[in-house]
Structure 1
Amino acid sequence: MKFLIVGLGNVGNEYAHTRHNIGFDVVNAFVLKHGGSFRTDRLAYVAEAKWKGKMFICICPTTYMNLSGKAVKYWMDKEKIPVANTLTIVDDLALPLEKIRVRPGGSDAGHNGLKSIAELLGTAEYPKLRFGIGNNYPKGLQAEFVLSKWKKEEEPLVKLKIDASVEAIEVFAAQGLTAAMNQLNNKIFSL
C-alpha cells in the first residue's frame, strides 16, 4: 500500500511557517514523526516514510502554490499511486482556526494550489485535509493575511492541530478516508 501525501505551500524563507504554508508544516511533522528526511527532487521536496507496512511518498511542491498540480501529477504517475491514495493538506480561509475538515473531493474554493491540482488531474474529486486558518483580516487584505505568520497566541492551537493532522494521515492510511472524516470533521479544537 502506497500513499502520496501532499503539503501545499510556497518555497522560500519568507513563506516559512505562514498560514498559507501549513501544508508544508503538517507534512514535515508527519515525516519527522516517522523518521524520514526530505531531499530535493523533481518539482518537490520529497521524503519517504514507512508505517505499519505502508509506504508514504510525502511531497512539498517547489513549483510555488499556483503550479502545485505539476508536482502532484508527476509524483502520482512516477509512483503509480491512485488518486484515492492521495491526501492533499491545504490552508482554508473559510474554516475557523478551531476546525479541520477532511473531504473526499470538492471545489478549490478559490485556492490556487487546489485549482492547479484539479486542472492537471482532470477532477476536483481527490482527498483533501483542509486546515482552518480563520479569516480575521480587514477587507482587501486577504493575501497579506494568508502570507502572514501565526500570532503568538495562536501557535499552541496550531501545534495541536498539526499533531491532529498527522494522526489523521495515519487514520486515512490505516482505516480509510471515512474514518479520518469521522475523527476530525465535527471536532472543535481548543486548548
Structure 2
Amino acid sequence: MYIIAGLGNPTKEYAGTRHNVGFAVIDKLADEYNISMDIKKHKAICGKGVIAGQKVVLVKPQTFMNLSGESLREVIDFYKEDIDKMLVIFDDISLDVGKLRLRPMGSAGGHNGIKSIIANLGTDQFKRIKFGVGDKPRGYDLANWVLGRFSKEQQEVVNEGLANACKAVETILLDGIEVGMNKYN
C-alpha cells in the first residue's frame, strides 16, 4: 500500500493558500479516482482507494504544517508500511508557480513540514513532489507569502500544475521515481 500525503494547514482560512498546494493535489487525486476522504484518524483526514492499480491511502495531516510529521508517524505505524512506500507532496518557493520537482529523498530545504517529518520518522529517505509556488517578492515576509493566495492570473498555471502532479503520482506508482523525475523535472 502506498501512503500519499499532501501537506497543508487545516481550517478554511488556509484553503487555497500557497502552503496548501499539497492538500490541493490530494483533493484532485481523490476526485479523479473516486476516493472518499472520510477517515478521520492519525491526526489526519484520509481516504483509501486505488491509483494506477496500486492500493493507496491519501493523507491530509490536520496538525498544522509544522507538526505534519506527528500525523505521518501515526499513519506509517498503523499501516506498518515501509518508508519506501511513502510519497509527500508540498509547496516549494524555489520553483516557479506550477512547476514540479520530484526527488527520491533529501533534506528539508528550510520547509518546516518536511523538517517535522524527518524528525518524526528519523530519516529523509522518502519520495517527494515539490510544487512550485514562486519565490516571495523582495522585502515580503515569508510566512505572509506562503499563507497568501495565488493571483487570478496564476490560477490557470496552478491548475495545470495540479493536473501534472496527479500524472506524476501515477508515473511514480507505475514506473518508479526515476522515471517520474525524467518526465516531470
Letter in 2 for 1:30: L
TM (norm. structure 1) is 0.93
Indicate conservation of the 8 Å contact 2:88/2:128, yes or no: yes
Superposition CA RMSD, Å: 1.1
- Local SS of the residue matching 1:157: helix
- CA offsets per residue over residues 42-76 of structure 1, 9 Å max, x none? 30000112134311101000011111001111111
- The worse-fitting range, judged by mean Cα deviation, of 106-115 and 94-103 is 94-103
> How big is the shift at 1:98?
4.8
Distance 1:52 1:126 in 2: 20
Stretches of 4+ aligned residues off by more than 6 angstroms: none
Contact preservation (8 Å) 1:18, 1:150: yes
- Residue 140 of structure 1: how far off its partner (Å): 4.3
Instruction: Name the counterpart of 2:4.
Output: 5
Aligned to 1:188: none
Whole-Å Cα distance in 1 between the matches of residues 41 and 19 of structure 2? 22
**TM-score, normalised with respect to structure 2:** 0.96
Which residue number in structure 1 is paired with residue 88 of structure 2? 88
> Distance in 2 between the 1:11 and 1:137 partners?
25
Count matched residues: 184
In structure 1, the residue corresponding to 2:182 is in which secondary structure? helix
- Per the alignment, residue 42 of structure 2 pairs with 42
Q: 2:140 and 2:174 mapped to 1: Cα distance?
A: 42
Structure 1: state its 5+ residue gaps.
186-191
Post-superposition offset of 1:136:
3.7
Query: Is the contact made by 1:105 and 1:126 (CA closer than 8 Å) also made in structure 2?
Result: yes
Gaps of 5+ in 2: none
Identity rate, percent: 34
Residue equivalent to 1:173: 173
Q: Are the aligned partners of 1:31 and 1:48 in contact in 2 as well (CA < 8 Å)?
A: no
| Superposed CA offset, 1:77-131 (max 9, x none) | 1112211111100000111225210001111111110000000111112111000
Alignment correspondent of 1:122: 122
Q: Structure 2: how far apart are the matches of 1:149 and 1:17?
A: 6
Separation (CA, whole Å) in 2 of partners of 1:109 and 1:51:
29
Q: Is the 8 A contact 2:98 2:162 kept in 1?
A: no
Letter paired with 1:10: N
Instruction: Describe how 1:85-164 pairs up with structure 2 within 5 A.
Output: 85-164=85-164
